[in-house]
Chain A
Amino acid sequence: MKLQSRSYLRYAVIPLLLVMVLFALPDGVGAKEPVKIGVMTPLSPPGATLLGKFILQGARMGAEYVNSTGGVLGGRNIELVIEDDSGTPEKGIAGYRRLVTQKGVSVIIGQVHSSVMIAVGDLAERLGVPIFSTQASSKTITEKHLMTTFRTHAIDPDRARMWLRFIKEIGFKRIAILAENTDYGLGLVDETKAGMAKMGLKLELKSLIFDKKVVDLTPQLLELRGWKPDLLIDIHSVPTTAYLMVKQAFDIRLFPSTPILASFDWPGRSEFWKNLGDKGNYILFISYYHPKMKLTERGEWFKKEYLGKYGEFPIYPAFNGFGQIMILADALNLAQSDKPAELITALEKGRFTSWNGLVTFERGEGPYWHQWSPPLMVLQYTRVNQSPKDAPILYPPDMKTSDYTKP
């Protein structure tokens, strides 16, 4: 009978007590449940898959950095949950729902396409889990003043103002715009017109809109060649079709005699010269990063580790993916919680060290709500196979290292 009592104690009571003790422990102790962060970004066509890939690389290294330096909330790891939105609003909405209702993420980063981010923004406001634009730039995104929307990327009015100032300085008069039929493309055309009016710039403007899935831009380029513009502003969100456009513009002898200004930094990637060779020389492009820029300690760590891992220096989308994880790690610790509502409060009141400086999210006016903007520059390639770090800076005037080079 005694033996039976001891066995009962060993096989039933002790395990039961252990289970009770485990359940009685506060959250995070024992199992150290990870904090889940969603990365919803385009990883398949028709989305800008390269941007998605770079953002994901940056976010993954951000999680590695945080997890190897003690994690968040007293030792919990960050776990990334990946979702492909293909750059389409319907997949974005389904992806957001899945991440929030099935995967239990606390926050989502990685948004690239303005049309997706705008569609998902309204749903996010209802479900309460914050979402970050990593490279979606339409002003509508932050202009709606949604509590769950945050951004660390340039907005369209600032970008349009930047190229209008540049155009004024160079003295171009006839400006052609070739823009895709998305919130990004159409938004930038509108912002350019609005900026001209605000600045009192008297320019002749001709804008042609193309379908995002286009496979041949020759008809539009021939029409623009006949119009004889001083500058062609190219507004693509998918670099692969942008390469096609430059090739076709070169083949019909529109470019480089008529300079092309790329609306973002896709010419800064290593595959630019592989894809275009000498056809790409003299292109002008907007950039938010320069390899000689001053970075934070975290930014320097990322630059070095990324080079070791991928054999090339990181570019802006990778930096921004990494930076958003840094911001969120700090915000989680400030909130002392992974609950979305508490995280939003922390994001609004904190100052966070990203890759390129201190970041804050204030309730600013108009599109400057929960908005942090990187600097903007205009660079130009002046020889084949030139590295972005050697490309002359044409704008802003204080940092200008060369005048515009005519071919």
Chain B
Amino acid sequence: MMPWKLDLPCFTLTGTMEIAKAQQESRGGIMKQRLLRIWWTHCFSPNI
């Protein structure tokens, strides 16, 4: 019943966007959509 998997912490939406930006700069990949999907699935909850 955890809000995240063990290896998947929940960041704030701003924090998630900052991670996406850093990933695009350092890795050149397009991770933003994936990160937003993770955020929506695991972290968007009134209790978290």
A residues with CB within 8 A of B: 158, 162, 165, 290, 292-294, 296, 351, 353, 356-358, 360, 362, 372-373, 375-377, 392-393, 395-396, 398-403
Contact = CB atoms under 8 A, between A and B. Distances in A.
B33 interface: no
B48 A294 contact: yes
26 contacts: A162-B7, A292-B11, A292-B12, A292-B14, A292-B19, A293-B10, A293-B11, A293-B12, A293-B15, A294-B48, A356-B10, A357-B2, A357-B45, A357-B48, A358-B1, A358-B45, A358-B48, A360-B1, A375-B7, A395-B7, A396-B9, A398-B34, A398-B35, A399-B19, A401-B26, A403-B26
Given A356-B10, A375-B9, 13 more contacts: A162-B7, A293-B12, A294-B15, A296-B48, A356-B48, A357-B3, A357-B4, A358-B3, A373-B6, A375-B4, A392-B22, A398-B38, A402-B22
Interface in B1-37: 1-4, 6-15, 18-19, 22-23, 26-27, 31, 34-35
Interface of B: 1-4, 6-15, 18-19, 22-23, 26-27, 31, 34-35, 38, 43, 45, 47-48
A7 to B, nearest CB: 63
A376 to B, nearest CB: 6
Given A296-B48, A351-B1, A358-B3, A377 B9 contact: yes
A42 to B, nearest CB: 27
B11 A290 contact: yes
Listed residue (B7, B26, B47) with the most chain A CB atoms within 10 angstroms of its CB: B7
Contacts, number: 83
A137 to B, nearest CB: 13
User: Which 9 interchain pairs have the tightest Cβ spacing?
Assistant: A292-B15, A375-B9, A401-B22, A396-B7, A357-B3, A360-B1, A294-B10, A357-B48, A294-B12
Contacts of B15: 290, 292-294
A159 to B, nearest CB: 10
Contacts of B2: 357, 372-373
A400 B22 CA distance: 9
Nearest to A399: B19
> Interface majority SS on A: helix, strand, loop or mixed?
loop
Contact of B26 (A158, A290, A402): A402
A294 B9 CA distance: 9
A8 to B, nearest CB: 62
A98 B19 CA distance: 48
A122 B41 CA distance: 40
Nearest to A373: B6
Nearest to B12: A294
A293 B19 CA distance: 11
B48 A393 contact: no
Contacts of A395: 7
Contacts of A377: 9
B42 to A, nearest CB: 10
B6 A376 contact: yes
A64 B7 CA distance: 33
A393 B45 CA distance: 24
Contacts of A402: 22, 26
B23 A401 contact: yes
Given A292-B15, A398-B38, A400-B23, A358 B47 contact: yes
B11 to A, nearest CB: 5
B47 to A, nearest CB: 5
Contacts of B27: 400
B19 to A, nearest CB: 6
B10 A362 contact: no
Contact of A376 (B3, B7, B23, B31): B7
Contacts of B23: 400-401
Contacts of A360: 1
Contacts of A396: 7-9
Contacts of B35: 398
A296 B19 CA distance: 20
Given A351-B1, A358-B1, A398 B8 contact: yes
